[in-house]
Amino acid sequence: MIEKNLQGLWFWGYLHSNGTVQVKRWFGDHDDYTRDCEGNEFVKKVVMPFTADNFDEAKEYITKKLRWE
């Protein structure tokens, strides 16, 4: 189940310049999806942190978010 709360596994992700969806675990460092991505030629779009039950669910969520943005 996808939701924003303080429990569960946290993920964030981005669309790589080569067209692949990158899924990353998030451990609370806001620089991961902000400062570290700014000016990075490989990062095209970022999906901010969210919780998911597992990696596959997170990848599906990120893929859908990127498709609609």
Extract long-range pairs of 18-22: CB within 8 Å, 24+ residues apart.
18/42, 21/59, 21/62, 21/63, 21/66
Give the per-residue pLDDT at 3: 52
Question: How long is the chain?
Answer: 69
What does the pLDDT read at residue 7?
67
Domain membership of residue 3 (yes or no) is no
pTM confidence score? 0.85
> Which tens digits make up the pLDDT trace of 26-46?
999 999 999 999 999 999 999
Q: 2 with 48: CB under 8 angstroms? A: no
Count of domains forming the chain? 1
Three-point CA angle 67, 68, 69, nearest 5°? 100
pLDDT at residue 5 greater than cutoff 80: no
Asked if residue 41 belongs to a domain, the reply is yes
Domain presence at residue 2 = no
CB atoms near residue 18 (< 10 Å) = 8
**Domain region containing 52:** 9-68
